[in-house]
Amino acid sequence: MSIFGAYLRGVLRIRLLLLLAVVSAQCFAAAVYTYKVVATYPHSTSSYTEGFFYLNGLFYESTGLEGHSEVLAITPATGKPVQQISLAPNYFGEGIVDWGPNILGWTWQTHAGFVYDRFSFRVVGQFKYDGEGWGMTRTDSEIITSDGSSTLRFRNPRTFQETHHIVVKDGTRAVDQLNELEMVRGEIYANIWHSDRIARISPKDGRILGWIDLSGLLPDDQRVNSESVLNGIAYDAKGDRLFVTGKQWPKVFEIKVLPKS
C-alpha cells in the first residue's frame, strides 16, 4: 500500500475514534431540560435563601449570613411572613425540612441543628452533627442532606444519624457543590452552588437523570452581587407546582420543566 493510503487509513481511524467519543459522551451524560415561567410571587431581597419548601399553602424559608439568619413561614401571594424566628448571631442558617409538627433546621459550619415547633416557631430541641450543613429535604421515612460535596446522606429523622448515602454522578463524573434540595415526583432536585442548573437525581443510586437549565430566569442586573445565586426549590405535591428562587432574589418563580427543543 502507498504511504498516502496508510496516511488516509490513519486519519479515518482517528476520525472514527473521535466520533465514538462524542456519541458515547452524549449517550451517557444526562439530558438537559429548559423551563417556562407560569407565575411569579414576591420574595424579599434581604432573604439570603438557604432552605425552602412548600406546605399547606405556605412557603417555609430559612436564610443565612451570620446576624441575618431566620426561619420564616411566608404567604406566597404577598411574600410577607406570618411566623418567623431569628437564629443567634453566631449562626449561619442552612437547610430546613418539615417533620410531623416540627421543622428541623441546621447551620453551615457550627454543627448546631434546631427543632422548631412548626406552628409556634419555638425551639423545642437541638441536635449536633459532623461536617458542614447545606441543604435538606425528605422522603416519607428519611431526611436527605447535602454538605457541598457530591454525597447526599439519608438520615433517621429522630436521631439524625446517617442510614446510608449516595454519590451524585453525571455519567462517570462526580458532581459536587450540591446545595438546596427538594424531593419532586420521586427524584431529588438539587441546586448546584454558583450555577443556574438544577440536577435531577435518582435517590436509588445518585445518577443524574437530567439537568434543568434555568439560565435567563433572573437577569444579572437584578442580582445584588455574585453570591446572589439560584438556591431554593419548593414543591407543592398536591397541586404539582414547582417553585424556585435565589439568594436575595426579588421573586419566587413557579415553573414548568420542558424538554429542550
Closest C-alpha to 133, from 110, 167, 166: 110
- Is 91 or 134 the residue whose CB approaches Ca ion more closely? 134
Give the per-residue contact string, 168-207, with Ca ion (x = CB under 5 A; - = no): --------------x-------------------------
Cell 447545606 identifies what position? 134
> Smallest distance from the beta carbon of 206 to ligand DDQ, in angstroms?
20
> Smallest distance from the beta carbon of 259 to Ca ion, in angstroms?
24
Edge-to-edge strands, sheet with 143-146: 136-138, 143-146, 151-155, 162-167
- Is 197 or 241 the residue whose CB approaches ligand DDQ more closely? 197
> How many Å apart are CA 137 and CA 229, to the nearest integer?
19
Binding part of the chain for Ca ion, among 61-69, 139-147, 191-199, 226-234 by CB under 5 A, reads 226-234
What does DSSP assign to residue 148? S
Q: Which residue is nearest to Ca ion (CB)?
A: 182
Pick one of ligand DDQ, Ca ion, none as the site partner of residue 233 (Cβ within 5 to 8 A by kind).
Ca ion
> How many Å apart are CA 251 and CA 44, to the nearest integer?
8
Rg (CA), the chain: 21
Q: Which of residues 52-111 bind Ca ion (CB under 5 A)?
A: 52-53
Q: Which residues bind Ca ion (CB under 5 A)?
A: 52-53, 182, 233
